[in-house]
Amino acid sequence: DTAVSQTPKYLVTQMGNDKSIKCEQNLGHDTMYWYKQDSKKFLKIMFSYNNKELIINETVPNRFSPKSPDKAHLNLHINSLELGDSAVYFCASSQGLPGQYYEQYFGPGTRLTVT
Amino acid sequence: DQQVKQNSPSLSVQEGRISILNCDYTNSMFDYFLWYKKYPAEGPTFLISISSIKDKNEDGRFTVFLNKSAKHLSLHIVPSQPGDSAVYFCAASEGYGGSQGNLIFGKGTKLSVKP
């Protein structure tokens, strides 16, 4: 039974399109995150939500809009896709707030390719 | 500006021997450190963590050592098994709440355990 799931696993689209990535966790965690792993393989935090409220936004362009309908879901919508958005996007969740000594559990990732 | 550095991009070890993965950090405010393992096309999987009040934490074949004065931590895997072959990420965070609790990841070290 998957703890953190993401759909789709692969997404190929053209520049200028709008796309969404969905994430769900069944761990009962309060906090969910989106990370981006770029071509240099660095994993960087983009957003963090706690109980549906945004708590971290790491200066991500406003073309990226996370939405949390409930604390088990955190979806990522991207408008006007650009070539530089090509990356692997990971969703994660944790029991407590960032910095509260709780490990984060990651989903399998969504590989986004913008052509 | 990399706050978490894994200077060895790859490491090759014989099965049954010890694997030692190293990680250096620059931010003296980091107080929680984690290791993640990642297989291709999967998300990172939590392995082991340590808080700054400890200098060692052990879980089965995995031991993490923290040297705060040197701002260095290491992951020891004994004995190494072929299934341990993966990319290992070091991560660190500081404080509680807000951006200070972000997990900052290193670039990863690819471990190959040869039978």
Tens digits of residue pLDDT in A96-107: 777 677 889 999
Q: Please tell me the distance from the alpha carbon of residue A15 to that of residue A17, in angstroms, as a whole number.
A: 6
The per-residue pLDDT for B97 is: 54
Decide if B71 contacts B33 (C-beta within 8 A).
Answer: no
Out of B43, B89, B102, name the one closest to residue A107 (CB): B43
Q: Please tell me the distance from the alpha carbon of residue B2 to that of residue B104, in angstroms, as a whole number.
A: 9
Question: What share of chain A has pLDDT > 90, as a percent?
Answer: 69
Mutation site for B-interface testing, chosen from A103, A105, A106, A111 by largest number of B Cβ within 10 Å: A103
Out of B36, B46, B93, name the one closest to residue A98 (CB): B93
List the structure tokens of B3.
């706050």
* Helix locations, chain B, DSSP H: none
Pick the more confident residue, A47 or B70.
B70
Decide if A35 contacts A45 (C-beta within 8 A).
Answer: yes
Mean pLDDT, residues A5-30 taken together: 96
Sequence letter at residue A81: L
The CA distance from B107 to the nearest CA of chain A, in Å, is: 5
Burial A25-59 (b: 16+ CB within 10 A, else e): beeebbbbbbbbbeeebbbbbbbbbbeeeebbeee
Which residues, in sequence order, are CB contacts of A78 under 8 Å at separation 6+?
Answer: A18, A19, A20, A21, A63, A64, A65, A85, A112
pLDDT at B17 over 90: yes
A9 pLDDT band, cuts 50/70/90, is: very high
Quick check: A97 contacting B, CB < 8 Å?
yes
Q: Please tell me the distance from the alpha carbon of residue B74 to that of residue B102, in angstroms, as a whole number.
A: 21
Quick check: A40 contacting B, CB < 8 Å?
yes
E-only strand ranges, A2-101: 4-7, 10-13, 19-25, 31-37, 43-50, 53-57, 64-70, 73-78, 87-94
**Closest-CA residue of chain A to B29:** A99
For residue B95, list chain A residues with Cβ-Cβ distance below 8 A: 99
Q: Please tell me the distance from the alpha carbon of residue B74 to that of residue B77, in angstroms, as a whole number.
A: 10
**Secondary structure (3-state) at B83:** helix
